[in-house]
Structure 1
């Protein structure tokens, strides 16, 4: 442990038992402030019952920090001086958005001769060597925690003196006196090491005296600004031309690799002394620094290149409020940017009437004043300790502080309040912790809070002496919040409804249960929606249908049966001999533009209807192998669709997916195989069918997931093979070059031929997705993309999405889908992916005030370059039939998507006239759907059937233009439009070449697959 000069306050007293009958002095709540608690109070550095892990508390917790990553994970840092490798001078650990720890217990090693050979195991981490090995938190002190507001990445900076003994690349920075210098450990969103960058050069660090870290942050251009409080006091004269030596504040800008963008530069416009401890914020085009100049809070703003855009700004002078100049060097004050156009500063002091206040000042990015005011004017404060404030992109300020309220028996507790963009309070002051208030046996003080904002999330940490398991000793406490969000309609998101809520084959009776839709898309022209209905002339037998819905709504939808007889006729009679209330069927379309083939699947019993389904004798042997003559099993059939008339033609006969070619043994039970699994069309036009096999053919002692690859004509391309033991529900999808199947939390990746490429455990994403069979957690992909997406609930109300790369079997990104303050529960989740990695995620939710489940949805997008997933919309209710009362209900949804349209199907009870305010009037659990526009419509880049379009050649001759393409490229039609911004493509013809007459205006031409 390096000795440091610190101020020590000793308090002697007697703990008093506070009666829970005392009237609560602070009556505000997070909800009053439009906040939704995402977690209860949790405590970070409480010693475990056993070691390892060596998560020691040294009883000296201080210097807290917090930040929120782009994925919603929260990084928390602190100092807790001790001895040896558990001397936590500067450490951090991470939590998911619900406050659950995600940093793994990690082995920390040492190459310092004083500790060589020693190890500890802990999730309290600090810096890393180049080889990825972790070092002890003892090499630096005073952590500063930040997250990249413009992309991925988090990090911890500290004042380090001993780093070079553990990370050899930094040995040149260590001088004979082991003076401090700033160094920042850069990390991924889930805490994996990227690299270390220094706040000064090794030469600069060798000067006489230390340089403490003041603060640091990520700039919007990807670089990093690091600010130090230099105690190389002579430099103020020798380097910067000051009249007298003294402490001073400097900055340096580096790129993530440590390359210098701007060398050490004085922050102040004048070479005069200054001090700093916290105080860097960023906006979209620059950064600001707050420090103490002559004991007064001073701010200066810079662009991303480090060029000043303002002089020194004295906050007292700017605001006309002397209290705004308080806070000293920043120990108990705060200064942050919102990553866009605003900065917030906060401190405490006395106003003109000598009243004790917590004071907030908001500045624009150019340094002009927005407002400066008291944030806690609803209670009389008798003392104030630490303060901090975060400001979000909408200008909301979440201020936190520790204070004692007049007549409160507790010395100090942590409070907060939210101001809107104009500075008006949204609600009253409230206690940050639900378990630390004057009525909850908080005998000891809680103090020194820090707060961070990201999107609609806020995270607060503080130094608590009220941890139930460690009462009276300082512990890092935390609580997470979201901004309350009320989902709206598709119209509120700027989307247009193409097809209103439409019932699939409206039944006369209540559904038999488990009748829910499954959906796909054929090319980019027709949505395929599988639904359940009653068999012909029955009220107790199920059948399967497919709704054929043109994506643009240009023609009426057509309903057809999912299976056709061997004679090619639609079959609507009873088809399942052993169960009539499920399971739902499946459907998969070829997603290549111009495609016409699709596959259906369901659990049926064709061996019981030999006169219609046994023209080739395929069920003769099979039926003798069945243990139960009433058995059902997963069957599939392929079709070709006439896109003009929406008329399907069978390409194959109904056949068993998994066991139709088995020639011996016994197929046990009445549910031999089940959907269960899923269908998907590969990018070569073949289909993969995955079912849950209960036959005991491939696993004698239990169930397993199996796959079979079929050609469009129904021929077997690859015979049935086992994926893994266990159960499966949906969770199979195609991607570019192959397909993936998820079972037991493992995603298995195959190429188009069914060869296993490898597997990924979903846990690598750091979120607690369900590892069960997949009822509410699904995977999906698109044949134009190498990525596979996983969506599901990850605790409480949280819906999340993760992406994985099939090329190198790597984790790419994870993100929350539901807003941090989404007010409802989250149940089953489903998703669909378009050709440009835009994903519609839908889930069943019951928001507060709604008597039944309502389907909610949100559209997200993966950026391949930044490896981030960001929203294209807010969460919204996709159906017209959404209502708090009247029995309106939607759930068990299935979405499908093109690059221009989105379809969501569900089951539930609705108003058949689409007047939900009148209440439900449908039978129970009808299948229905709606279609609406994509929030970011674009052309589909997927190579069409037969490959990409050939290149057009154009030749002008007088007043005519000859348009031609390679003669070998057949099956294309030439189309024209007058505008690309609002295209109206019309067919010109199929002749190659085509001669057109030049007319007025502009014409654009393209080839479209017929």
Structure 2
């Protein structure tokens, strides 16, 4: 007996040791998921909760918005049997509070108002959630649209949706429909999973699942309770439940008629289970109880037989899950499907993940959770991203005694990428939540992971009974980690290069502005110290060949005698504002203009004529927006003034006096128009044109400084940059309104930027930028939206001021705050947007960027790269910093300039070794290089260089009518490129002697 007791004690002690050493799930942060915030509770009792929440679903849209849906059966208009709402990537509501009504006779005059919507009528009014049940939430993996599929109920649906009144009345049964929505939740129409004839037989057809196809069409799968159809219509041996699918266009036009899902006419059940890849769709269902998948092309034609998952993988758990209530099946929109199940095998309770290739072959099938011991895993879902990585979600009660939501990330090959982690911060092994968390669903796209589940741990209870209610919970996480420009496939043509490194720290507010001349030369305007001074500023311009090579530093202003001016030019402020620069973007162009706040009327070198003594008093310390245009030799990079420095706004006034030394300000910008003239827009404080305050005013100049259109008021108010030239005109943004003008400054219309369905900074515009290209009619606005740390870009068509498209530039998973935003666009509507970021883990701000493209016809903006850090000088340390960026681009190169503290040897790990706020830049390759189609200087297409060889002689020529071009040669196209002029050219032709084996490259420039 004594020995037996000792054995029992030993067993108990061993058991205790095992329990004490149990591995617990970790935090999301420890496993590479950065929370965007705490858990968000949606259908709280204070809003609408019927204590019947179920059937949750979630999807991440292409723009980063998140759609969540659920069922919560109740009474009358509050009967929320299929509802949805949309959040942005920070968790803020996108869906506005909306009135919901019913056309039923019993609901006359009754209105429900909240953010939980269902279907829309043709007139745009919203129904309540009483018309359908069992929501299935999807986002197009090929665009920005959302949708909710559900089983629409008779007669409610027909009563409330006029288009279905004749086909769904008291004599009809339920059938599946889909409410299509755009990325912000605006209605796009309703499509049906059955035709009128398909719906006619006795019995209902329930929503199985649905999805968007790459073609833009929609596939809808129904689980049919019209049992007789299986035998009478599809040739089965007996009337049984079955599943059928239909493919329709967004307008509801049938592409693939209602067809049997399984290749055999036997019993099929289904709840969830449609996923898409680029070349088609897959459906997971239970065939006589066994988990089965069948694949189809985008037209709806079968491309596989029934794939029994247990047999195909060799693992019974892969085929578990019955009809699919507690399992996940999704596609990644590219080349793979994921199936997630749960159950028990010889090794104990498991969460099982299977990934199929688009052709149905097995990529892997394995236990997903191997780092912790599971007790009773259930209600599994999984998401698969475009790279093939998988995130699985499930519940288990073995860690707390209550069911909690857990997750794990797997690499594309199925190996663990993270450990197992808990999802909700209120439901962890440490918090020991009092109540359960159940039925999770998960979505993952562009670095944003979105979980939803049913939680009894919300901050509210039933206000009448005090009862704890199940509430729909959502939590968002970022998994995106920005990398280098090289990491997204770009080549660094010019490494991080300071414009100038002064001996002392900058005076503050000095930041660069960037532009481009034609396709040949980037311009980077900056501020530095006056020669032999450490207290006064001057303007400089970095002149950088776009294809690479050495930068030449020029001066922003030249004296009246044409010599560079390097003395004091501002007599009332030395710490800013930044200067401006703009180049003529026409291929072959040579001209550019510099703008800056200055006091040239006080400087002897600018007083060769009477332009400062016409009668307007600029005071002894007055400063004002001054401009000077130059012509550039694109070979030597030497600049030559085209006119003397001018007072942009008030240079022609013959009387009056400035009310203070801030006469006009940059605040404003300069831009070359598509006809070769330039426009200068400044913030006017002189009270000359608007007596009651500040105003944005503009003047159109010819390159020689003559006035084309005298100064006029654009709008009242303050302004920062906010000027861009497009094809045929220019635009100015003042206080959230875009004002459009033709090339002569004649107004053509205006539009509020609120038409982009986003809230940008409505002040003077420091944190936003507008930009365009003279070869394009589209105008862009980029900025951080006011409702979250999201950088967004929007586009309008200047021809009719209509809103075209918008996109969140920073990936939903790009964590951290966002500050100043800037951008540029090339002649083909490919745009680079850059912003000041500070992701989690970075002690200093870092400039990030992303390249995108606009399809004006399709009205979409899509990425060409993921987000990246612009500079080599990027570091998590406490000394490297980049802010205040500016962007310019050609169709082949991208220039990003900024200010900050860097390592001048481009060794950021060694820390910064420059003075503060140094102006610097880099040049990168374009991700999609192409020729610039803009009409060149002189008009018409650029000439073709003809090359003929005879013996040892090589003749190069181009049409005699194409005048003004210079033939240049280089021995290499590797940076830095050294182009030199070819001598001996006569009548657009030259003959050269060929010798040796070295290569020679030639180009024409103008």
TM > 0.5 fold call: yes
In the TM superposition, what whole-angstrom CA distance separates every residue of 1:187-214 from its partner, at most 9, and x where no partner exists? 2112222222111111111111111111
1:146/1:992 CA distance change after superposition, 3 Å: farther
Contact 1:973 1:989 in 2 (8 A): no
Q: 2:407 pairs with 400, 416, 419, which one? A: 416
- 1:465–1:473: 8 Å Cα contact kept in structure 2? yes
CA distance in 1, matches of 2:201, 2:974: 61
Tell me the equivalent position of 1:501: 496
1:791 to 750, 757, 782: 782
Work out the CA distance in 2 between the residues paired with 1:728 and 1:23.
63
2:353 match: 360
Instruction: Pick one of 374, 378, 381 that aligns with 1:388.
Output: 381
Shift of 1:664: 4.5
CA distance in 2, matches of 1:981, 1:606: 43
SS of the residue 1:366 aligns to: coil
Q: Does residue 566 of structure 1 match 2:560?
A: yes
Match of 1:43 in 2: 41
Asked if the contact 1:151/1:866 (under 8 Å) is kept, the reply is no
Supply the distance in 1 between the matched residues of 2:63 and 2:984 (Cα, whole angstroms).
49
Residue 389 of structure 1 and its aligned partner are, at CA, apart by 0.8
CA contact 1:635–1:657 (8 Å) conserved in 2: yes
Shift of 1:847: 4.2
Supply the distance in 2 between the matched residues of 1:36 and 1:568 (Cα, whole angstroms): 57
The alignment of Structure 1 onto Structure 2 pairs a total of residues equal to 974
Is 1:447 the counterpart of 2:438 in the alignment?
yes
Partner of 2:247: 253
Deviation of 1:991 after TM superposition, in Å, equals: 7.0
Is 1:750 paired with 2:741?
A: yes
Cα gap change, 1:685 to 1:378, in 2 (>3 Å): same
Partner of 1:432: 423
312-321 vs 842-851, which deviates more?
A: 842-851
**Take 2:204 and 2:384, find their aligned partners in 1: how far apart are those partners?**
32
Aligned to 2:197: 203
Residue pair 1:379, 1:405 contacting (<8 A) in 2 also:
no
Contact 1:487 1:877 in 2 (8 A): yes
Q: 1:485 touches 1:819 (CA, 8 Å); kept in 2? A: no
Distance 1:953-1:437 versus aligned 2 partners, 3 A rule: closer
Match for residue 471 of structure 2 among 471, 475, 489 = 475
Q: 1:181–1:213: 8 Å Cα contact kept in structure 2?
A: yes
Q: How does 1:276-675 map to 2 (within 5 A)?
A: 276-353=270-347, 355-406=348-399, 408-410=400-402, 412-440=403-431, 442-470=433-461, 472-488=468-484, 490-554=485-549, 556-609=550-603, 611-624=604-617, 626=618, 628-675=619-666
Listed one character per residue, the Cα deviations across residues 904-939 of structure 1 (whole Å, up to 9, x for unaligned) are 222222333334444333222222222232222111
Give the gaps of 5 or more residues in structure 1.
Answer: 1-21, 49-54
TM-score (normalised: structure 1): 0.90
Q: Distance in 1 between matches of 2:536 and 2:336?
A: 63
Alignment partner, residue 697 of structure 2: 706
**Structure 1: how far apart are the matches of 2:521 and 2:261?**
61
Distance in structure 1 (CA, Å) of the matches to 2:984 and 2:71 = 74
Q: Cα–Cα, structure 1 residues 923 and 755, in superposed 2: closer, same or farther, change >3 Å?
A: same
- Determine the C-alpha separation between the residues in 2 that align with 1:301 and 1:206: 28
- Seen in structure 2, the aligned counterparts of structure 1 residues 663 and 61 have a Cα distance that, compared at 3 Å, is farther
CA distance in 2: counterparts of 1:206 and 1:882, whole angstroms: 65
What is the deviation of 1:301? 1.4
Q: Residue 336 of structure 1 aligns to a residue in which SS? A: strand
Asked if 1:128 is matched to 2:120, the reply is yes
Q: Secondary structure at the match of 1:826?
A: strand
Structure 1: distance between partners of 2:941 and 2:871: 37
Deviation sequence 1:230-283 (CA, Å, 0-9, x none): 111100000011111011100011122211111011111110111111110111
Aligned to 1:730: 721
CA distance in 1, matches of 2:352, 2:125: 44
- Provide closer, same or farther for how the CA distance between residues 447 and 756 of structure 1 changes in structure 2, counting only shifts above 3 A: farther
Structure 1 distance, partners of 2:948, 2:524, is 47
Question: What are the equivalent positions in structure 2 for 1:53-64 lying under 5 Å apart?
Answer: 56-64=48-56
Q: Are 1:937 and 2:941 matched, yes or no?
A: no
Which of these residues, 17, 26, 29, is aligned with residue 27 of structure 2? 29
Question: Which residue of structure 2 aligns with residue 911 of structure 1?
Answer: 903
Q: Kindly tell me: are residues 1005 and 947 of structure 1, through their superposed partners in 2, closer, same or farther at Cα, counting changes over 3 Å?
A: farther
Partner in structure 2 of residue 689 of structure 1 = 680
Question: CA 1:454–1:532 in structure 2 vs 1: closer, same or farther (change >3 Å)?
Answer: same
CA RMSD in angstroms comes to 3.5
Which residue number in structure 1 is paired with residue 916 of structure 2?
Answer: 924
CA contact (8 A) 2:447 2:814 kept: no
SS of the counterpart of 1:785? coil
Q: Is the aligned partner of 1:817 residue 2:786? A: no
Residues 138-147 or 651-660, more deviating: 651-660
Change (3 A) 1:377 1:916: closer
Residue 650 to residue 111, structure 1, CA distance change in 2 (3 Å):
same
Q: 1:607, 1:623 within 8 Å by CA — same for their partners in 2?
A: no
Structure 2 counterpart of 1:4: none
* Between 600-609 and 112-121, the greater mean CA deviation after superposition: 112-121
Structure-2 residue corresponding to 1:853: 845
Q: CA deviation at 1:455?
A: 2.8
Residues 159, 169 of structure 2: 8 Å contact kept:
no
* Mapped partners of 1:396, 1:874: distance in 2: 17
Query: In terms of mean alpha carbon deviation, does 175-184 or 752-761 score higher?
Result: 752-761
Residue 165 (structure 2) aligns with: 171
Answer whether contact 1:976 1:988 (CA < 8 A) is retained.
Answer: no
Q: Distance in 1 between matches of 2:113 and 2:799?
A: 34
Cα deviation digits, residues 472-518 of structure 1 (max 9, x gap) = 22222111122241423x33333333223322233222221111111
> For structure 1, which segment, 170-179 or 542-551, has the greater mean C-alpha deviation from structure 2 after superposition?
170-179
| CA distance in structure 2 between the aligned counterparts of 1:567 and 1:59, rounded to whole angstroms | 83
Unaligned runs of 5+ in 2: 1-19, 463-467
Residues 828, 228 of structure 1: alpha-carbon distance in 2 compared, 3 angstrom cutoff: same
The answer as to whether partners of 1:623 and 1:629 remain within 8 angstroms in 2 is no
How far apart are 1:688 and its partner, in Å? 1.7
Shift of 1:873: 2.7
Structure 1 residue 947 and structure 2 residue 928: aligned?
no
Q: 1:691 offset after TM fit, Å?
A: 1.6
Q: CA deviation at 1:29?
A: 1.9
Shift of 1:292: 1.7
Distance 1:636 1:809 in 2: 30
Deviation at 1:822, TM superposition (A): 3.5
Q: Is the 8 A contact 1:301 1:308 kept in 2?
A: yes
| Alpha-carbon distance between aligned partners in 1 of 2:27 and 2:521, rounded to the nearest angstrom | 50
Q: Distance in 2 between matches of 1:469 and 1:886?
A: 43
